[in-house]
Structure 1
Amino acid sequence: MSKPQPKETLLDLIKAGDTERLGDFFYTSAAKARGTVKVRPVDIGWEDYTLTPDKFEPADTDPADMDEAMRWAVIVDDIPECEADTKAQMYVDRETGDMIIAALSGPAHDHDVAIRMVARDLKAEQANAPSRKVLRETARIADNQNNQKIGKFTITRFRDLGKAKPKPVVVKGVRYADEISYMVAKPGGGKSVLETDICYHIASGRDWHGHKVEQGLVVYFAAERKALQDRRVMAYRKHYGDERKDVPLVVIGGTPNLTDDKRQDAQEMVKIIRALEVEYGLPCRCITIDTLARTFGGRDQNLGQDMMKYVHNVDLLKETFPSAHTSVIHHEGWETGRAKGGIDFDGAVDASFRITKTGDTFKLACDGANDGVEGDILCFTMKSVELGLDEDGEPITAPVIIPAADVVGDLVKATETKQAKAEADAWDILLELSAGGHAVGGGMWLAKFRETEPEANERTMQSRWHRAVKALEKTGRVASSGSPKVYTLVEMQG
């Protein structure tokens, strides 16, 4: 009987120069210890006291060579039984192959506990560990800003700002990662059908009616009419002839209480999503909660304190899955034209959307955005898709979204008319302010432009002005210079 071969050690991998398997080891260790994989800068040593977690760089690929592999580390900043600012930096010693804790930050009384907890987690089973693709995606989103975390606080210094980076796209121009939005409509207004449409396109990797999408896992929490929601997804599968088995769109029934102070149901939702990320090997891109009313735990939506408890629970999903957009389906009041309940939720979301209906045509518009363009997005109708027959031979159906081409054309024409008016107004205002050729500051020009439609949304007017200025510059009618910019009529120059 042959003797069992000795288990391969990290030192064996180092001696063999096996950087790929060393990379696997680091990602496995990070998953066990709930940490992230980072790379130490070349010019800072492990013993250098200036080596703090914010100095590390992201690890996007396997180590290029053994020298780089020896600069890889696992940063753990969520250590059980320790205070929030307790962190550990771990690396592999090149001479011994041992996993070394390079530094511990945080209160000294936590250090012994931190060492025990990290050692315990590294020995844990990895059956439910996220894939390397998921871990890398989470790290990419987290590194989108140059931030330093201290406990619950995130610090960005002026010197670390660098160049502005685009927001990570989920549906370009509509939904972005690490943000929360809500969509409202009156009962029967098509909000759940449209949400299904968006979710299917994200999960299947199809552009959403002209908007680029970033494909990934979509988790739809159907707190009401789960069977109907299943049929809606079936309708999309049939409508697009999509016979793939691995489209990462998952519908989950149940009525979680998202006003619970302890966030117990929200934590269960986190566990479910994490397990699905492992199952599909993809980062979560969209989390849908349908509806706010059915997940409000019987509390009063009109009370600010209850609404803030809801926000606190939804924030857990957003913070745990920074690669995802969290969408809440909400009801609109019959007479108000806005979301039901306290205004606190409006202040907590990054964008809000509203569906209105005229006859058989629906229109989706963004009516509030902290960092985006407001206005009309999509006009659509619905088509009924037959899924089968019931026991009486009657068809079983569910709707899908169909863009309303004619209405879209009218919408484009209306938009073009508004923009033409904006350009004319901007030109007339600059002509007046320049008083024969003087340069005009952008702030003064914009302020006068806003006066042309005092009832319009401020961000909408600012967006129209920016587009008008670009158009006038592109056609050579206006020139800009300096910082901050000043503008001059080209005909008046010289």
Structure 2
Amino acid sequence: MDQISPPADRLDYISRDLSLVPKDERMALFVERAQAVGDLVRGDFLNTSVARDKLWEIARAHNLVGLPGSGSEEFIANVIESAVALTDENEPPLPTGPDAYGSAPDVDRLKPARSQPLKLTYFDESSHFVLKRSILKGLIVRGETSAFIAPPGAGKSALMTELAVHCASGKDWRGHKAKEACGVVILALERADLYRRRLQAYRMRDGLKGLPVAVAGTVIDLLNPNCIDLIVSTVRAAEKTFGRDVGLIIIDTYAKGIAANGGDEDKARDQNRAAANLRNVQAQLDVHIALVGHTGKNEDRGARGSNAHLGDVDVMVQITGEGTKVAEIIKANDQPQRVLAEFKLEAFDLGSDDEGDAITTSIVSTDSGGVPPATAARKKPKLNLPDKPKAGLRALLECIADSEAQTPIDEHIPATAKGVTLVAWRERLEKTRVINPKGNPRQEFQRIHVTLKNAGVIGIWEEFVWAVT
């Protein structure tokens, strides 16, 4: 494969990162970033000369050449040449046979481990972290991954189209400040024409023109390591046309990419393979990846499939509601659960077909309610439970609080769920006289837990029960 030579300023993120850490930390960070650039060179994603010249430019700009202790020109030269070297004559030959997908083995994984220790950040150095590089503050951040889930037809793709337009135009979105405008690539693994119609609706309704948004309508096998190069090369082609870098990749739907060659979203193994491939995409592209997916039959249990998906993403947003849709952050690494947006869909007339019938599509309405407070939580309807199930729920919560039981590792049980066994709960109900152990306790217990489960306030899988919060 011929090496691709993207503009040298694609490596400017290194300079940004160096400027955010204390001077005495910059050399170590430079060495770390140089090694990452070397991976791009060896993967034929970056020209050696471009990488070498840019690393020298960055080193000089941050006064690393001549820095006391380790910043001599010879040291910097060794760092850069070691990073961008295409081969190492001292290494033994590596296996070249194809894996199950017909791909060459992961060369980096097969290389002997380096003897240098991993870079450590010690407790008193914890303030030396790199600031988040937001596109939409609090939601779309470079280097992170999000998931937007809902039942079919609930407005997931419509909301993603609105997000794409705002990221591409650099406009604030529902109380989230736009920090920059960026290119957007939508990998529509299904219904690509629906995205195209919606983008056309925004062009017509809002008078937009020339936004850096592109749609690809090909199914991609996200379990195949070759998808990494396919996605990276597609994004780089878009960047050449846009004349600017891409900051957001939307994959709709994530499940389609897992199932493309027989994968199963219910299997943690397949979820983790797809997630690892996307992380490798982010190792080469400074982007946010937004994944669109479905909820299961029981919406209260979140995303369909293995909960490995929930564990991998930085932010998960669930969309509910009929007329007025509510998008709520149900999981985030470093922010509270909150209502993200309330919106409605509206039909938009794109014109007529060759028989004179109207061509319409649905997009997010311009009068989609107000912007919810940044930390607002979705209001849940007040439950009107009978006295006995209400007492049973109270007993369950007390039992969970008193228990040290471990949550079973099972794809049918949320990873964050806290609960107890059904036996422990029933014993608490008998002890507190909520059910009569001398009457028909089995039937009473069944009525209580069926009522509570139907009300959506508890979850049960096999012998484990937990409260739904």
TM-score w.r.t. the length of structure 2 is 0.58
Cα pair distance change 1:237/1:152, threshold 3 Å: farther
- The Cα of 1:104 is off from its aligned counterpart by 2.4
CA RMSD of aligned residues (A): 4.6
Specify whether residues 205 and 102 from structure 1 end up closer, same or farther in structure 2 by C-alpha distance, changes over 3 A only.
closer
Provide closer, same or farther for how the CA distance between residues 403 and 159 of structure 1 changes in structure 2, counting only shifts above 3 A.
Answer: same
Tell me by how many angstroms 1:372 deviates.
1.5
Amino acid at match of 1:281: G
Q: Which residue of 1 aligns with 2:137?
A: 172
Residue type of the alignment partner of 1:355 = I
CA distance 1:150–1:385, change in 2 (3 Å): farther
CA distance in 2, matches of 1:414, 1:36: 33
Q: What is the alpha-carbon distance in structure 2 between the residues aligned to residue 168 and residue 413 of structure 1?
A: 19
* Identity within the alignment, %: 25
The aligned counterpart of 2:78 is: 104
The aligned counterpart of 2:266 is 302
> For residue 204 of structure 2, what is the amino acid of its counterpart?
K
Letter in 2 for 1:379: E
Q: Counterparts in 2 of 1:173-212, with a 5 A limit?
A: 173-212=138-177
TM-score of the pair, normalised by structure 1: 0.55
CA gap of 1:56–1:371, structure 2 versus 1, over 3 A, is: same
Q: How far did residue 35 of structure 1 move?
A: 11
Paired with 2:170 and 2:7, the residues of 1 have a C-alpha distance of 28
Deviation at 1:28, TM superposition (A): 6.3
- In structure 2, the partner of 1:320 is 284
CA spacing shift, 1:392–1:175, aligned 2, 3 Å: same
Distance between the aligned counterparts of 2:312 and 2:271, measured in 1?
10
CA distance in structure 1 between the partners assigned to 2:117 and 2:213 by the alignment: 32
| Paired residues of 1:175 and 1:325 also in contact (CA < 8 A) | yes
The 3 A distance-change label for structure 1 pair 241 and 81 is closer
C-alpha offsets along residues 340-360 of structure 1, whole Å, 9 cap, x if unaligned? Answer: 1101111000010000013x2
Q: Determine which of 243, 246, 251 is the counterpart of 1:289.
A: 251
What's the CA shift for 1:51?
Answer: 9.9
Q: Alignment partner of 2:42: what SS? A: coil
Q: Secondary structure at the match of 2:233?
A: helix
1:381 counterpart (338, 344, 366): 344
For residues 335-414 of structure 1, what are the structure 2 equivalents within 5 Å?
Answer: 335-337=298-300, 338-358=302-322, 360-402=323-365, 408=370
Q: Does the Cα contact within 8 Å between 1:34 and 1:76 map onto a contact in 2?
A: no
User: How do residues 57-206 of structure 1 correspond to structure 2 at under 5 angstroms?
Assistant: 76-78=37-39, 79-80=41-42, 90=56, 102-105=76-79, 113=87, 155-158=120-123, 160-162=125-127, 166-206=131-171
Match of 1:331 in 2: 294
- Residues 35, 77 of structure 1: 8 Å contact kept: no
Give the Å deviation of 1:415: 4.9
Between the aligned partners of 2:250 and 2:115, the Cα distance in structure 1 is 30
- SS of 1:257's equivalent in the other structure is coil
Q: Summarize the Cα distance change of 1:191–1:76 in structure 2 as closer, same or farther, 3 Å threshold.
A: closer
- Give, in angstroms, the shift of residue 100 of structure 1: 9.0
Summarize the Cα distance change of 1:280–1:157 in structure 2 as closer, same or farther, 3 Å threshold.
Answer: farther
Amino acid at match of 1:241: G
Matches within 5 A, 1:245-256: 245=210, 247-256=211-220
What is the Cα deviation at residue 74 of structure 1? 12
- 2:238 aligns with one of 270, 273, 276: 276
SS of corresponding position for 1:77: helix
Aligned amino acid, residue 298 of structure 2: E
1:75/1:90 contact within 8 Å kept = no
Give the deviation of 1:27 after TM superposition. 9.7
Contact 1:53 1:75 in 2 (8 A): no
Does 2:235 match 1:235? no
Structure 1 CA distance for aligned equivalents of residues 368 and 223 of structure 2: 42
**Structure 1 residues 346-398: Cα deviation after superposition (integer angstroms, max 9, x where no partner):** 1000010000013x211111011011231112111111111110122111111
Count residues in correspondence: 323
Using the TM superposition, give the Cα deviation of residue 111 of structure 1 relative to its aligned residue in structure 2, in angstroms: 6.7
Q: Say which SS state the counterpart of residue 228 (structure 2) adopts.
A: helix
Deviation at 1:185, TM superposition (A): 0.6
Task: Describe the SS at the equivalent of 2:356.
Answer: coil
Give the alignment of 1:44-59 within 5 angstroms: 54=29
CA deviation profile, 1:233-282 (whole Å, cap 9, x unmatched): 1111112111x23x10111110000012xx10221111111222233232
| Equivalent residue, structure 2, for 1:432 | none
Partner amino acid, structure 2, of 1:357: G
Q: 1:395–1:345: structure 2 CA closer, same or farther, 3 Å change rule?
A: same
SS at match of 1:103: helix
Instruction: Within 5 Å, give how 1:24-43 maps onto structure 2.
Output: none
1:266 maps to 2:232: no
Structure 1 335/156 Cα, relative in aligned 2: closer, same or farther at 3 Å? same
- 8 Å CA contact 2:18–2:29 kept in 1: the answer is no
Once the two structures are superposed, residues 376-434 of structure 1 have per-residue CA deviations (whole angstroms, 9 ceiling, x without a partner) of 1211111111111012211111122126565x48x66995999xxxxxxxxxxxxxxxx
CA distance change for structure 1 residues 29 and 392 in 2, over 3 Å: closer, same or farther?
A: closer
State the distance in 2 between where 1:185 and 1:336 align. Answer: 8
Name the aligned partner's letter for residue 402 of structure 1: S
Closer/same/farther in 2, CA of residues 393 and 182 from structure 1, 3 Å limit: same
Describe the superposition over 1:143-188 as per-residue Cα deviations: whole angstroms up to 9, x where unpaired.
xxxxxx9999664345654456642212122222211010111011
The one-letter code of the counterpart of 1:185 is A
CA gap of 1:75–1:257, structure 2 versus 1, over 3 A, is closer
CA distance in 2, matches of 1:414, 1:284: 29
| Distance in 1 separating the partners of 2:126 and 2:319 | 38
More strand by share: 1
Within 2, Cα distance between the matches of 1:225 and 1:160?
48
SS in 2 for 1:251: strand
* Secondary structure at the counterpart of residue 208 of structure 1: coil
Query: Does structure 1 retain, via aligned residues, the 8 Å contact 2:186–2:213?
Result: yes
